[in-house]
Structure formats: structure tokens, C-alpha cells
Amino acid sequence: MVAEILQGETQVYYDSFDWSLPADTDDTVSFAAFEPPDTGTYTLHIYTVMEPDESDADDEKTKELHFTAIAEPIIPITFLDLKVSPLSRGDVHVSYSLPNGHEGILILFDASGRRVDARQVRGYGAVEFDSELAVGVYIVKLEASGATLSRKVIIVE
């Protein structure tokens, strides 16, 4: 059994395996996954190779495949910087960096995912979250321009 995918005259995929069935048997087979290298039209061609050659029209299938996509801009997360003290006694001190005047939001979550506090931020700076926080694990999350960065902080006695 052979499967090949062509883009125009260029073969972009090929997979084959030995498979033997009694005549006139219906069965399902799976080939290796195919990820198109580009958008466009491809031709899938599946056929059998028999010895001696007994191939006929029902031993071959061809199907046109159309792959389309909309490219989304990739926002590099490298422009965000977030620093917290991993262990804290009292206030949680957070330093952040959002170059070029970007705006963002710093959010403090408890271990259950409940939002405890949030602050609007811009550019470079630092924020302190309340010293009345209970002992436990917290997550500080910085969101800006569709990118996010998170850090864990543990409040100890």
C-alpha cells in the first residue's frame, strides 16, 4: 500500500507499508501524519502495488486537498521581563519591564487560581502587593500586547 502527496509535480509526502488482505475485503488503514509545508492545493494518491501486477481502477484513489491558513503575527515574549522574590516574608515585590511604553496588567493569583489583586502598569517599574497576604503559594502574571509571563512566589511566616 502506498500513499503519496504531490504539490504540482513535486512529491512532498510518501509512506508505504506491506499489507495483505483476501480479495474484495473492506478495511481501514492509517498512514503517517502529513503536515503541509505551505498553503495551497495538493494531490493525495493512494494505490496498491501487486505482484504479479493485478491492479485495476478500484485499487487506486486520488483526491485533491486544499490547505489554507491566515498567518497571525508572532509576538515575541522576550520583550517582557518580570522579577519576583521566590520566597517572601510580607510584601510581594515585583519588578517589571515593558519596553517602548507598552501597557500591561500585573495580576496576583492565589494557589486556587483566584484573582487576589491586579495593577495596571506601563514601561518599567516595580509594584508591591499587600503585606496582609496569607502564607501560601501565589502566581504573579504579567500580560501585555497578547503575551504573558508568570512567576511563582511563596509567602512564608
pTM of structure:
0.49
Backbone phi, then psi, for 59, in 5-degree steps? Answer: -100, 10
- In the block, cell 504540482 appears at 8
- Which residue, among 133, 127, 81, has the nearest Cα to 107 in the 3D structure? 127
Residue 35 grid cell: 503536515
User: Can you give the pLDDT of all 157 residues of the chain as single tens digits?
Assistant: 788 888 888 888 888 877 666 666 666 667 777 777 777 888 888 877 776 666 566 678 888 877 776 554 544 545 678 888 766 677 788 998 887 778 899 999 888 888 989 999 998 899 888 767 888 888 899 988 778 888 888 888 7
**75: which DSSP letter?**
-
At 119, which CATH number? 2.60.40.2550
57 domain-assigned = yes
In this prediction, residue 77 carries a pLDDT of 45
Domain of 123, in residue numbers: 77-155
Please state the domain count of the chain. Answer: 2
Q: Per-residue DSSP letters for 37-49? A: SSSEEEEEEEE--
pLDDT of the residue at 119: 92
Same domain? 85 vs 62: no
In contact, 95 and 82? CB cutoff 8 Å: yes
